[in-house]
Amino acid sequence: MNILVTGGAGYIGSHTCVELLKAGHEVVVFDNFCNSSPEAVARVQKIAGKSVSLVKGDVRNREQLESVLREFKCEAVIHFAGLKAVGESVEQPLMYYDNNVLGTVRLLEAMEATGVKTIVFSSSATVYAPPQYLPLDEDHPLAASSPYGRSKMMVEDILRDCYRAHPDWKIALLRYFNPVGAHESGLIGEDPDGIPNNLMPFVAQVAIGRRERLNIWGGDYPTPDGTGVRDFIHVVDLATGHLAALQTLTEPQCFAINLGTGTGHSVLDVVKAYEKACGKTLPYIIAERRPGDIAEYYANPAAAKRKLGWEAQRGLDAICADSWRWQQMNPNGFKP
């Protein structure tokens, strides 16, 4: 199948491109590189031994999307392009609604105009915040505590409305838990600009010596060791989840599915596993809780197994080993 991958140069997109190429699909990456580098796509080609078509463009540009969908005869879209920093979304909500919500509307218009009816969308477990019960299943009430989370909820609603209006569309809404790790080749991985927002790249940068120590936000949560608990999913497992979703979309439908492992690990569990992977002691301090952070959440992955025939394969040790390999081989990320 010819697949348009918006945001395909990014962290999750690049890993998904590898799996799509391995499965025999043709891939067109469409990315404006606002948070990524074309080098990631070069590395994807190296890993897969196949070429990728790369178009620099913004998903808010409907005309350009239409011509790309036509030129490459795309049959499906995987839509990763978007901004993802929760804190930044609180400070600049309009930028998030413009990029994440209006960008998706422009993309859907381009799909409608060109007759492309299959889309897999990157949603997020933030649509369950704050959790009312655990583990989080897909029937959990939807709510969001930031403009970022609301942008994901809005796009989910828009896609459900599109399906009501066009019941011949095939739509998968994938709610990711906490993507971490890197490709086992060490060639692609997460490459945050500036100070990492997420735990794993921060730990990796402490391990490589780019940062002095880790700040753990909150040590007094009602969790076994007092630190926050999350459902960390290896990015390659997440990538294969997209392949499983595409394979499930043989008939018109619209569904939402969690992509998580079902197991929660605390921040201190991650630090210990990373210390084992890198063979060093990682300095950290326990700081104040961050406002808005949640003590604990993890997925109920049963529906993913039932519906997609997919479940995560890789545990925390593999996650840390792969992250460390990527960090060691690329101490400055994709920059030379």
Q: Please, is 63 exposed, middle or buried when counting C-beta atoms within 10 Å of its C-beta (0-12, 13-18, 19+)?
A: exposed
- 16 lines the binding site for ligand NAD (CB under 6 A): no
How many contiguous H segments (helices) and E segments (strands) does the chain have?
12, 13
Subset of residues 54 to 113 that bind ligand NAD, contact rule: CB under 6 A? 58-60, 80-84, 99, 103
Residue-level length of the chain: 336
Catalytic-labelled residue, pool 148, 163, 176, 298:
148
Nearer to ligand NAD, 103 or 241 (CB): 103
Structure tokens at 6: 């918006």
| C-alpha–C-alpha distance, residues 181 and 96, integer Å | 26
At 314, is the secondary structure helix, strand, or coil?
Answer: coil
Which residues contact residue 230 at a Cβ distance below 8 angstroms, ignoring those fewer than 6 apart? 177, 178, 199, 264, 265, 267, 296, 297, 298
Judged by CB under 6 A, the residue of 169, 176, 202, 297 near ligand NAD is: 176
Nearer to ligand NAD, 38 or 226 (CB): 38
For residue 276, the Cα-to-chain-centroid distance in whole angstroms is 26
Judged by CB under 6 A, the residue of 3, 4, 5, 7 near ligand NAD is: 7
CB of 31 to ligand NAD, least distance (A): 4
Judged by CB under 6 A, the residue of 3, 18, 19, 35 near ligand NAD is: 35
- 12 lines the binding site for ligand NAD (CB under 6 A): yes
Judged by CB under 6 A, the residue of 31, 39, 66, 231 near ligand NAD is: 31
- 287 lines the binding site for ligand NAD (CB under 6 A): no
CB of 163 to ligand NAD, least distance (A): 20
Nearer to ligand NAD, 250 or 265 (CB): 265
**Count of residues near ligand NAD by CB under 6 A:** 27
Residue with the shortest CB distance to ligand NAD = 10
Letter for the amino acid at 109? E
* 179 cis-preceded (ω within 30 degrees of 0): no
Judged by CB under 6 A, the residue of 1, 33, 143, 196 near ligand NAD is: 33
Look up 176 and say whether it is catalytic: no
- 13 lines the binding site for ligand NAD (CB under 6 A): yes
| C-alpha–C-alpha distance, residues 299 and 330, integer Å | 31
- 300 lines the binding site for ligand NAD (CB under 6 A): no
Neighbours of 149 (CB within 10 A): 22
- 217 lines the binding site for ligand NAD (CB under 6 A): no
How far CA 263 is from CA of 187, 229, 266, 296, 312, in Å, comes to 27, 9, 10, 11, 10
Q: Which positions are catalytic? A: 148
User: Contact positions toward ligand NAD, by CB under 6 A?
Assistant: 6-7, 9-13, 31-36, 58-60, 80-84, 99, 103, 122, 124, 176, 179
